[in-house]
Structure 1
Amino acid sequence: MTAKVSTKSNDSLVDRIPHALWGVISFVLGIGLWWLATSLGASTLPDPGSVAVRIFELAANGQLLSDALASLRRVLIGFLLGVSIAVPIGFLMGWYRLARSLVEPWIQFFRVIPPLAIIPLAIVTLGIDETPKVFVIFLAAFLSSVVATYQGVTNVDRTYINAARVLGASDWVIFRSVVVPASMPFILVGFRIGLGSAWATVVAAELIAAQSGLGFRMQQAQLYYDLPTIFVSLVAIGVLGLLMDRIVMRTDEYLTRWQEKGTS
Protein backbone atom coordinates (compact mmCIF):
# COMPACT_ATOMS: atom_id res chain seq x y z
CA MET A 1 0.00 0.00 0.00
CA THR A 2 2.85 2.35 0.88
CA ALA A 3 4.50 1.71 -2.48
CA LYS A 4 1.32 2.59 -4.33
CA VAL A 5 0.94 5.88 -2.47
CA SER A 6 4.58 6.75 -3.17
CA THR A 7 4.13 6.04 -6.89
CA LYS A 8 1.02 8.20 -7.06
CA SER A 9 2.84 11.00 -5.27
CA ASN A 10 5.75 10.84 -7.71
CA ASP A 11 3.43 10.76 -10.71
CA SER A 12 1.54 13.81 -9.52
CA LEU A 13 4.81 15.67 -8.94
CA VAL A 14 5.98 14.88 -12.48
CA ASP A 15 2.62 15.94 -13.90
CA ARG A 16 2.77 19.28 -12.07
CA ILE A 17 6.07 20.24 -13.73
CA PRO A 18 5.51 21.68 -17.23
CA HIS A 19 6.96 19.76 -20.16
CA ALA A 20 9.02 22.77 -21.25
CA LEU A 21 10.59 23.00 -17.80
CA TRP A 22 11.79 19.41 -18.07
CA GLY A 23 13.53 20.40 -21.29
CA VAL A 24 15.28 23.28 -19.50
CA ILE A 25 16.34 20.97 -16.67
CA SER A 26 17.72 18.46 -19.17
CA PHE A 27 19.64 21.24 -20.95
CA VAL A 28 21.14 22.55 -17.72
CA LEU A 29 22.17 19.06 -16.63
CA GLY A 30 23.82 18.43 -20.00
CA ILE A 31 25.79 21.68 -19.81
CA GLY A 32 26.74 20.87 -16.21
CA LEU A 33 28.08 17.44 -17.16
CA TRP A 34 30.00 18.98 -20.06
CA TRP A 35 31.56 21.59 -17.77
CA LEU A 36 32.39 18.96 -15.14
CA ALA A 37 34.10 16.71 -17.69
CA THR A 38 36.29 19.54 -19.00
CA SER A 39 37.06 20.86 -15.51
CA LEU A 40 38.28 17.47 -14.32
CA GLY A 41 40.41 17.01 -17.43
CA ALA A 42 38.39 13.98 -18.49
CA SER A 43 37.84 15.42 -21.94
CA THR A 44 39.87 17.33 -24.53
CA LEU A 45 36.76 19.20 -25.62
CA PRO A 46 36.55 22.97 -25.08
CA ASP A 47 34.68 24.09 -21.99
CA PRO A 48 31.19 25.69 -22.29
CA GLY A 49 32.60 29.11 -21.41
CA SER A 50 35.04 29.25 -24.32
CA VAL A 51 32.33 28.06 -26.71
CA ALA A 52 29.95 30.74 -25.44
CA VAL A 53 32.63 33.42 -25.93
CA ARG A 54 33.24 32.19 -29.48
CA ILE A 55 29.51 32.29 -30.21
CA PHE A 56 29.37 35.96 -29.24
CA GLU A 57 32.50 36.74 -31.30
CA LEU A 58 31.16 35.07 -34.45
CA ALA A 59 27.72 36.60 -33.92
CA ALA A 60 29.22 40.06 -33.46
CA ASN A 61 31.16 40.00 -36.73
CA GLY A 62 28.18 38.54 -38.62
CA GLN A 63 29.96 35.36 -39.64
CA LEU A 64 27.68 33.05 -37.65
CA LEU A 65 24.52 34.55 -39.13
CA SER A 66 25.92 34.42 -42.66
CA ASP A 67 26.93 30.76 -42.38
CA ALA A 68 23.67 29.77 -40.69
CA LEU A 69 21.58 31.47 -43.37
CA ALA A 70 23.61 29.82 -46.16
CA SER A 71 23.07 26.34 -44.73
CA LEU A 72 19.44 27.03 -43.85
CA ARG A 73 18.70 28.25 -47.37
CA ARG A 74 20.14 25.08 -48.89
CA VAL A 75 18.22 22.86 -46.48
CA LEU A 76 14.92 24.63 -47.04
CA ILE A 77 15.17 24.60 -50.83
CA GLY A 78 16.20 20.95 -51.04
CA PHE A 79 13.75 19.81 -48.37
CA LEU A 80 10.75 21.64 -49.80
CA LEU A 81 11.50 20.39 -53.30
CA GLY A 82 11.92 16.85 -51.99
CA VAL A 83 8.69 16.65 -50.01
CA SER A 84 6.63 18.47 -52.66
CA ILE A 85 7.50 15.72 -55.15
CA ALA A 86 7.58 12.84 -52.66
CA VAL A 87 4.04 13.29 -51.31
CA PRO A 88 2.14 12.98 -54.63
CA ILE A 89 4.36 10.09 -55.76
CA GLY A 90 3.81 8.35 -52.43
CA PHE A 91 0.06 8.75 -52.77
CA LEU A 92 0.17 7.35 -56.31
CA MET A 93 2.21 4.36 -55.14
CA GLY A 94 -0.16 3.64 -52.29
CA TRP A 95 -3.39 4.18 -54.23
CA TYR A 96 -2.60 2.59 -57.59
CA ARG A 97 -1.03 -0.84 -57.87
CA LEU A 98 0.42 -0.09 -61.31
CA ALA A 99 2.23 3.00 -60.02
CA ARG A 100 3.55 0.99 -57.09
CA SER A 101 4.85 -1.75 -59.37
CA LEU A 102 6.59 0.73 -61.66
CA VAL A 103 8.08 3.12 -59.10
CA GLU A 104 8.74 1.15 -55.92
CA PRO A 105 11.75 -0.84 -57.25
CA TRP A 106 13.51 2.40 -58.13
CA ILE A 107 12.69 3.93 -54.75
CA GLN A 108 14.07 0.90 -52.93
CA PHE A 109 17.15 0.89 -55.19
CA PHE A 110 18.07 4.48 -54.37
CA ARG A 111 17.17 4.09 -50.70
CA VAL A 112 20.07 1.70 -50.10
CA ILE A 113 22.50 4.21 -51.64
CA PRO A 114 23.38 6.82 -48.99
CA PRO A 115 22.84 10.38 -50.26
CA LEU A 116 26.37 11.16 -49.08
CA ALA A 117 27.67 8.67 -51.64
CA ILE A 118 26.00 10.74 -54.37
CA ILE A 119 27.90 13.90 -53.43
CA PRO A 120 31.08 13.20 -55.48
CA LEU A 121 28.98 12.26 -58.53
CA ALA A 122 26.78 15.34 -58.08
CA ILE A 123 29.81 17.62 -57.89
CA VAL A 124 31.41 16.09 -61.00
CA THR A 125 28.22 16.26 -63.06
CA LEU A 126 26.57 19.41 -61.69
CA GLY A 127 29.56 21.56 -60.75
CA ILE A 128 30.57 23.07 -57.42
CA ASP A 129 27.93 25.78 -57.06
CA GLU A 130 24.63 25.45 -55.18
CA THR A 131 23.05 22.91 -57.52
CA PRO A 132 24.79 19.73 -56.29
CA LYS A 133 24.28 20.67 -52.65
CA VAL A 134 20.56 21.27 -53.14
CA PHE A 135 20.26 18.10 -55.22
CA VAL A 136 21.67 15.77 -52.56
CA ILE A 137 19.46 17.40 -49.92
CA PHE A 138 16.48 16.99 -52.23
CA LEU A 139 17.32 13.30 -52.66
CA ALA A 140 17.64 12.69 -48.91
CA ALA A 141 14.33 14.41 -48.10
CA PHE A 142 12.54 12.83 -51.06
CA LEU A 143 13.45 9.23 -50.18
CA SER A 144 12.39 9.60 -46.54
CA SER A 145 9.11 11.31 -47.36
CA VAL A 146 8.02 9.13 -50.29
CA VAL A 147 8.36 5.93 -48.27
CA ALA A 148 6.51 7.43 -45.30
CA THR A 149 3.67 8.66 -47.52
CA TYR A 150 3.39 5.30 -49.26
CA GLN A 151 3.26 3.51 -45.89
CA GLY A 152 0.64 5.95 -44.68
CA VAL A 153 -1.67 5.22 -47.62
CA THR A 154 -1.25 1.44 -47.41
CA ASN A 155 -1.90 1.47 -43.65
CA VAL A 156 -5.24 3.30 -43.85
CA ASP A 157 -7.87 1.21 -42.10
CA ARG A 158 -9.98 -0.47 -44.80
CA THR A 159 -13.02 -0.11 -42.54
CA TYR A 160 -13.02 3.66 -43.15
CA ILE A 161 -12.80 3.20 -46.92
CA ASN A 162 -15.52 0.54 -47.01
CA ALA A 163 -17.81 2.66 -44.84
CA ALA A 164 -17.34 5.62 -47.17
CA ARG A 165 -18.15 3.44 -50.19
CA VAL A 166 -21.31 2.16 -48.50
CA LEU A 167 -22.38 5.78 -47.98
CA GLY A 168 -21.93 6.40 -51.70
CA ALA A 169 -18.66 8.35 -51.66
CA SER A 170 -16.71 8.50 -54.91
CA ASP A 171 -13.05 7.52 -55.15
CA TRP A 172 -12.02 11.18 -55.14
CA VAL A 173 -14.06 11.93 -52.01
CA ILE A 174 -12.63 8.85 -50.28
CA PHE A 175 -9.11 9.85 -51.21
CA ARG A 176 -9.53 13.46 -50.12
CA SER A 177 -11.60 12.94 -46.97
CA VAL A 178 -10.36 9.56 -45.72
CA VAL A 179 -6.99 8.57 -47.15
CA VAL A 180 -5.23 11.94 -46.94
CA PRO A 181 -6.15 12.70 -43.29
CA ALA A 182 -5.42 9.14 -42.17
CA SER A 183 -2.02 9.22 -43.89
CA MET A 184 -0.99 12.57 -42.41
CA PRO A 185 0.76 11.20 -39.28
CA PHE A 186 2.97 8.99 -41.45
CA ILE A 187 3.73 11.86 -43.84
CA LEU A 188 4.81 14.20 -41.07
CA VAL A 189 7.01 11.54 -39.50
CA GLY A 190 8.66 11.25 -42.91
CA PHE A 191 9.12 15.03 -42.90
CA ARG A 192 10.90 14.87 -39.55
CA ILE A 193 13.21 12.10 -40.75
CA GLY A 194 13.79 14.00 -43.98
CA LEU A 195 14.82 17.12 -42.07
CA GLY A 196 17.44 15.18 -40.15
CA SER A 197 18.76 13.67 -43.36
CA ALA A 198 18.78 17.09 -45.02
CA TRP A 199 20.94 18.65 -42.31
CA ALA A 200 23.35 15.70 -42.29
CA THR A 201 23.64 15.91 -46.07
CA VAL A 202 24.16 19.66 -46.32
CA VAL A 203 26.97 19.59 -43.77
CA ALA A 204 28.72 16.81 -45.67
CA ALA A 205 28.25 18.67 -48.96
CA GLU A 206 29.68 21.87 -47.48
CA LEU A 207 32.68 19.97 -46.18
CA ILE A 208 33.55 18.96 -49.73
CA ALA A 209 32.77 22.01 -51.84
CA ALA A 210 31.48 25.29 -50.43
CA GLN A 211 32.53 28.86 -49.73
CA SER A 212 30.02 29.45 -46.94
CA GLY A 213 27.86 27.51 -44.53
CA LEU A 214 28.21 25.85 -41.15
CA GLY A 215 29.86 22.75 -42.60
CA PHE A 216 32.37 24.92 -44.47
CA ARG A 217 33.14 26.81 -41.27
CA MET A 218 33.78 23.55 -39.41
CA GLN A 219 36.20 22.46 -42.11
CA GLN A 220 38.11 25.72 -41.91
CA ALA A 221 38.24 25.52 -38.11
CA GLN A 222 39.48 21.95 -38.25
CA LEU A 223 42.52 23.04 -40.28
CA TYR A 224 43.57 25.31 -37.40
CA TYR A 225 42.39 22.98 -34.59
CA ASP A 226 39.86 25.63 -33.57
CA LEU A 227 37.59 23.44 -31.45
CA PRO A 228 35.37 26.26 -30.09
CA THR A 229 34.42 27.30 -33.65
CA ILE A 230 33.63 23.69 -34.53
CA PHE A 231 31.37 23.50 -31.50
CA VAL A 232 29.67 26.77 -32.45
CA SER A 233 28.74 25.29 -35.83
CA LEU A 234 27.51 22.10 -34.18
CA VAL A 235 25.37 24.10 -31.74
CA ALA A 236 23.94 26.22 -34.57
CA ILE A 237 23.02 23.12 -36.58
CA GLY A 238 21.43 21.52 -33.53
CA VAL A 239 19.38 24.63 -32.68
CA LEU A 240 18.18 25.17 -36.25
CA GLY A 241 17.34 21.49 -36.66
CA LEU A 242 15.48 21.42 -33.35
CA LEU A 243 13.44 24.50 -34.22
CA MET A 244 12.47 23.07 -37.61
CA ASP A 245 11.57 19.75 -36.01
CA ARG A 246 9.34 21.51 -33.47
CA ILE A 247 7.56 23.36 -36.28
CA VAL A 248 6.79 20.04 -37.96
CA MET A 249 5.62 18.60 -34.60
CA ARG A 250 3.23 21.50 -34.03
CA THR A 251 1.94 21.10 -37.58
CA ASP A 252 1.40 17.41 -36.86
CA GLU A 253 -0.56 18.22 -33.70
CA TYR A 254 -2.77 20.66 -35.61
CA LEU A 255 -3.43 18.47 -38.63
CA THR A 256 -4.02 15.29 -36.60
CA ARG A 257 -5.97 16.84 -33.72
CA TRP A 258 -8.87 14.55 -34.66
CA GLN A 259 -6.76 11.50 -33.86
CA GLU A 260 -6.90 9.95 -30.41
CA LYS A 261 -3.40 9.83 -29.00
CA GLY A 262 -2.03 8.17 -25.90
CA THR A 263 -0.13 10.19 -23.30
CA SER A 264 2.26 9.17 -20.59
Structure 2
Amino acid sequence: MHIRNTHPNAHIIGIDLGVECMFAAVAYSTDDPAHLQTLAVRTKSMTEPERLFRCWQQLTKPERLVGIERQCTKSADDGWPSFMKAFVIAYDELHCHYGGKSYMKRSWDAAKAKRGKMDRALEGLVRMVGEIMGNKLPDNKKVIVAIGLGEFETKNSRHIGFTRYLIRKLKPPGYTIVGVDEYYTSQKCPCCGGFVERQAMRRLYCRQDHLWFHRDVLAAENMVNILLSFLDTGQRPEYLLPPRRPMVKKTRGTR
Protein backbone atom coordinates (compact mmCIF):
# COMPACT_ATOMS: atom_id res chain seq x y z
CA MET A 1 0.00 0.00 0.00
CA HIS A 2 2.99 2.30 0.46
CA ILE A 3 3.66 2.29 -3.30
CA ARG A 4 0.00 2.99 -4.02
CA ASN A 5 0.09 6.09 -1.81
CA THR A 6 3.43 7.48 -3.00
CA HIS A 7 3.35 6.55 -6.71
CA PRO A 8 -0.14 7.46 -7.99
CA ASN A 9 1.03 8.47 -11.51
CA ALA A 10 4.17 6.39 -11.92
CA HIS A 11 5.93 5.15 -15.02
CA ILE A 12 6.14 1.34 -14.95
CA ILE A 13 8.67 -1.11 -16.39
CA GLY A 14 7.74 -4.79 -16.27
CA ILE A 15 10.64 -7.26 -16.60
CA ASP A 16 10.40 -11.00 -17.19
CA LEU A 17 13.59 -13.06 -16.98
CA GLY A 18 13.61 -15.86 -19.52
CA VAL A 19 15.71 -18.55 -21.17
CA GLU A 20 15.96 -17.49 -24.81
CA CYS A 21 15.92 -13.85 -23.75
CA MET A 22 17.95 -12.74 -20.76
CA PHE A 23 14.98 -10.48 -20.11
CA ALA A 24 12.02 -8.92 -21.86
CA ALA A 25 10.75 -5.54 -20.72
CA VAL A 26 7.56 -3.59 -21.38
CA ALA A 27 7.36 0.07 -20.36
CA TYR A 28 4.24 2.09 -19.56
CA SER A 29 4.65 5.87 -19.63
CA THR A 30 2.14 8.34 -18.26
CA ASP A 31 3.12 10.71 -21.08
CA ASP A 32 1.74 8.24 -23.67
CA PRO A 33 -0.37 5.62 -21.85
CA ALA A 34 -1.82 4.17 -25.06
CA HIS A 35 1.62 3.18 -26.37
CA LEU A 36 3.70 0.48 -24.67
CA GLN A 37 7.40 0.17 -25.47
CA THR A 38 9.06 -3.24 -25.67
CA LEU A 39 12.68 -4.31 -25.23
CA ALA A 40 14.01 -7.88 -25.47
CA VAL A 41 17.67 -8.76 -24.87
CA ARG A 42 18.79 -12.20 -26.00
CA THR A 43 20.82 -14.36 -23.65
CA LYS A 44 23.31 -15.14 -26.42
CA SER A 45 24.28 -11.48 -26.78
CA MET A 46 24.75 -11.06 -23.02
CA THR A 47 26.99 -14.13 -22.71
CA GLU A 48 29.21 -13.34 -25.72
CA PRO A 49 32.13 -11.97 -23.59
CA GLU A 50 32.16 -15.16 -21.51
CA ARG A 51 32.11 -17.35 -24.61
CA LEU A 52 35.01 -15.48 -26.23
CA PHE A 53 37.04 -15.70 -23.02
CA ARG A 54 36.46 -19.45 -22.72
CA CYS A 55 37.46 -19.96 -26.37
CA TRP A 56 40.68 -17.99 -25.83
CA GLN A 57 41.37 -19.95 -22.65
CA GLN A 58 41.04 -23.32 -24.41
CA LEU A 59 43.21 -22.23 -27.34
CA THR A 60 46.05 -20.82 -25.22
CA LYS A 61 46.13 -23.35 -22.38
CA PRO A 62 49.28 -25.52 -22.55
CA GLU A 63 48.57 -29.20 -23.12
CA ARG A 64 50.47 -30.22 -20.00
CA LEU A 65 48.09 -28.16 -17.83
CA VAL A 66 45.14 -30.22 -19.05
CA GLY A 67 46.74 -33.37 -17.66
CA ILE A 68 47.70 -31.62 -14.42
CA GLU A 69 44.14 -30.39 -13.88
CA ARG A 70 42.83 -33.92 -14.37
CA GLN A 71 45.24 -35.16 -11.71
CA CYS A 72 43.98 -32.47 -9.31
CA THR A 73 40.41 -33.71 -9.63
CA LYS A 74 39.78 -36.15 -6.81
CA SER A 75 37.97 -39.34 -7.74
CA ALA A 76 36.15 -41.72 -5.44
CA ASP A 77 39.02 -44.23 -5.68
CA ASP A 78 41.74 -41.76 -4.65
CA GLY A 79 42.65 -41.32 -1.03
CA TRP A 80 43.16 -37.89 0.45
CA PRO A 81 46.96 -38.29 0.98
CA SER A 82 47.63 -39.12 -2.69
CA PHE A 83 45.26 -36.39 -3.85
CA MET A 84 46.91 -33.71 -1.67
CA LYS A 85 50.37 -34.79 -2.86
CA ALA A 86 49.38 -34.36 -6.52
CA PHE A 87 47.68 -31.06 -5.74
CA VAL A 88 50.73 -29.57 -3.97
CA ILE A 89 53.05 -30.60 -6.81
CA ALA A 90 50.78 -29.04 -9.46
CA TYR A 91 49.83 -25.91 -7.52
CA ASP A 92 52.89 -23.82 -8.46
CA GLU A 93 52.54 -24.49 -12.18
CA LEU A 94 48.80 -23.83 -12.19
CA HIS A 95 49.27 -20.65 -10.16
CA CYS A 96 51.93 -19.46 -12.61
CA HIS A 97 49.50 -19.86 -15.53
CA TYR A 98 46.27 -18.54 -13.97
CA GLY A 99 48.09 -15.79 -12.09
CA GLY A 100 50.05 -14.61 -15.10
CA LYS A 101 49.62 -11.17 -16.66
CA SER A 102 48.15 -12.48 -19.91
CA TYR A 103 45.43 -14.54 -18.22
CA MET A 104 44.62 -11.85 -15.66
CA LYS A 105 44.32 -9.18 -18.36
CA ARG A 106 42.02 -11.34 -20.47
CA SER A 107 39.92 -12.18 -17.42
CA TRP A 108 39.66 -8.50 -16.49
CA ASP A 109 38.71 -7.56 -20.07
CA ALA A 110 35.99 -10.25 -20.11
CA ALA A 111 34.53 -9.00 -16.81
CA LYS A 112 34.61 -5.41 -18.08
CA ALA A 113 32.88 -6.42 -21.32
CA LYS A 114 30.23 -8.29 -19.34
CA ARG A 115 29.52 -5.20 -17.23
CA GLY A 116 29.39 -3.13 -20.40
CA LYS A 117 26.76 -5.46 -21.86
CA MET A 118 24.61 -5.15 -18.73
CA ASP A 119 25.06 -1.36 -18.65
CA ARG A 120 23.91 -1.14 -22.25
CA ALA A 121 20.86 -3.28 -21.45
CA LEU A 122 19.98 -1.07 -18.47
CA GLU A 123 20.47 2.02 -20.65
CA GLY A 124 17.79 0.66 -22.97
CA LEU A 125 15.47 0.13 -20.00
CA VAL A 126 15.68 3.66 -18.61
CA ARG A 127 15.44 5.24 -22.06
CA MET A 128 11.97 3.70 -22.44
CA VAL A 129 10.77 6.07 -19.69
CA GLY A 130 12.71 9.07 -21.01
CA GLU A 131 15.72 8.85 -18.69
CA ILE A 132 19.48 8.46 -19.04
CA MET A 133 21.52 5.85 -17.22
CA GLY A 134 23.26 7.30 -14.16
CA ASN A 135 21.04 10.38 -13.85
CA LYS A 136 18.97 10.81 -10.72
CA LEU A 137 15.21 10.84 -11.20
CA PRO A 138 13.51 14.24 -10.85
CA ASP A 139 11.59 14.74 -7.62
CA ASN A 140 8.27 14.88 -9.48
CA LYS A 141 8.84 11.66 -11.45
CA LYS A 142 8.29 8.13 -10.13
CA VAL A 143 9.37 4.96 -11.93
CA ILE A 144 8.51 1.46 -10.71
CA VAL A 145 10.51 -1.50 -12.00
CA ALA A 146 8.59 -4.77 -11.55
CA ILE A 147 10.65 -7.98 -11.78
CA GLY A 148 9.07 -11.42 -12.01
CA LEU A 149 9.80 -13.67 -9.03
CA GLY A 150 10.51 -16.79 -11.06
CA GLU A 151 12.53 -19.70 -9.66
CA PHE A 152 15.78 -20.72 -11.31
CA GLU A 153 17.95 -23.79 -10.94
CA THR A 154 20.86 -22.18 -9.09
CA LYS A 155 21.32 -19.12 -6.95
CA ASN A 156 24.37 -18.23 -9.04
CA SER A 157 22.46 -18.13 -12.34
CA ARG A 158 22.82 -15.27 -14.79
CA HIS A 159 19.34 -14.07 -13.90
CA ILE A 160 20.26 -13.62 -10.24
CA GLY A 161 23.45 -11.82 -11.20
CA PHE A 162 21.60 -9.51 -13.58
CA THR A 163 18.89 -8.78 -10.98
CA ARG A 164 21.49 -7.84 -8.38
CA TYR A 165 23.30 -5.62 -10.87
CA LEU A 166 20.01 -3.93 -11.82
CA ILE A 167 19.17 -3.21 -8.19
CA ARG A 168 22.66 -1.87 -7.51
CA LYS A 169 22.51 0.48 -10.51
CA LEU A 170 18.88 1.66 -10.48
CA LYS A 171 18.02 1.91 -6.79
CA PRO A 172 20.43 4.80 -5.90
CA PRO A 173 19.05 7.12 -8.66
CA GLY A 174 15.55 6.76 -7.20
CA TYR A 175 13.91 3.89 -9.10
CA THR A 176 11.47 1.80 -7.06
CA ILE A 177 12.09 -1.93 -7.58
CA VAL A 178 9.46 -4.50 -6.61
CA GLY A 179 8.95 -8.23 -7.11
CA VAL A 180 5.82 -9.58 -8.80
CA ASP A 181 4.32 -13.07 -8.50
CA GLU A 182 4.32 -14.57 -11.99
CA TYR A 183 1.07 -16.49 -11.52
CA TYR A 184 -0.70 -16.71 -14.94
CA THR A 185 1.48 -13.92 -16.39
CA SER A 186 2.77 -16.14 -19.21
CA GLN A 187 -0.55 -17.91 -19.84
CA LYS A 188 -3.16 -15.17 -20.28
CA CYS A 189 -3.62 -12.41 -22.83
CA PRO A 190 -3.04 -8.91 -21.41
CA CYS A 191 -5.74 -7.50 -23.72
CA CYS A 192 -8.75 -9.80 -23.20
CA GLY A 193 -7.64 -11.78 -20.13
CA GLY A 194 -8.25 -15.15 -21.78
CA PHE A 195 -5.85 -18.07 -22.01
CA VAL A 196 -3.41 -18.07 -24.92
CA GLU A 197 -2.38 -21.03 -27.06
CA ARG A 198 1.21 -22.24 -27.31
CA GLN A 199 2.01 -22.48 -31.02
CA ALA A 200 5.77 -22.91 -30.59
CA MET A 201 8.32 -23.01 -27.79
CA ARG A 202 8.20 -19.27 -27.10
CA ARG A 203 5.36 -18.19 -29.41
CA LEU A 204 1.85 -17.73 -28.02
CA TYR A 205 -1.39 -16.88 -29.80
CA CYS A 206 -4.60 -15.29 -28.52
CA ARG A 207 -7.44 -16.67 -30.61
CA GLN A 208 -9.99 -14.15 -29.35
CA ASP A 209 -7.95 -11.03 -30.26
CA HIS A 210 -5.94 -12.69 -33.08
CA LEU A 211 -2.65 -11.53 -31.56
CA TRP A 212 0.77 -13.17 -31.47
CA PHE A 213 3.03 -12.80 -28.43
CA HIS A 214 6.52 -13.76 -27.44
CA ARG A 215 6.22 -15.60 -24.14
CA ASP A 216 8.58 -13.28 -22.20
CA VAL A 217 7.06 -10.09 -23.65
CA LEU A 218 3.57 -11.36 -22.76
CA ALA A 219 4.64 -11.92 -19.13
CA ALA A 220 6.26 -8.49 -18.92
CA GLU A 221 3.12 -6.78 -20.24
CA ASN A 222 0.98 -8.63 -17.70
CA MET A 223 3.31 -7.39 -14.95
CA VAL A 224 2.64 -3.83 -16.11
CA ASN A 225 -1.10 -4.56 -15.86
CA ILE A 226 -0.58 -5.93 -12.34
CA LEU A 227 1.14 -2.74 -11.19
CA LEU A 228 -1.46 -0.51 -12.86
CA SER A 229 -4.27 -2.43 -11.18
CA PHE A 230 -2.48 -2.39 -7.83
CA LEU A 231 -1.98 1.38 -7.99
CA ASP A 232 -5.66 1.81 -8.85
CA THR A 233 -7.44 -0.77 -6.68
CA GLY A 234 -4.78 -2.20 -4.38
CA GLN A 235 -4.93 -5.74 -5.83
CA ARG A 236 -4.07 -7.77 -8.93
CA PRO A 237 -6.33 -7.72 -12.02
CA GLU A 238 -9.23 -10.14 -11.86
CA TYR A 239 -7.92 -12.29 -14.71
CA LEU A 240 -4.55 -12.78 -12.97
CA LEU A 241 -5.92 -13.72 -9.55
CA PRO A 242 -5.32 -17.32 -8.44
CA PRO A 243 -8.49 -19.43 -8.16
CA ARG A 244 -10.10 -19.46 -4.78
CA ARG A 245 -9.92 -22.65 -2.80
CA PRO A 246 -13.28 -24.29 -2.20
CA MET A 247 -14.51 -24.06 1.35
CA VAL A 248 -14.41 -27.33 3.25
CA LYS A 249 -17.29 -27.96 5.62
CA LYS A 250 -16.24 -28.92 9.09
CA THR A 251 -18.07 -31.96 10.39
CA ARG A 252 -18.85 -32.31 14.04
CA GLY A 253 -17.26 -35.23 15.78
CA THR A 254 -19.56 -37.90 17.17
CA ARG A 255 -19.45 -38.82 20.81
For Structure 1 versus Structure 2, the TM-score category normalised by the shorter chain is under 0.3
Using structure 1 for the length normalisation, give the TM-score. Answer: 0.24
Using structure 2 for the length normalisation, give the TM-score. Answer: 0.25
- Whose helix proportion is higher, 1 or 2? 1
- Whose strand proportion is higher, 1 or 2? 2
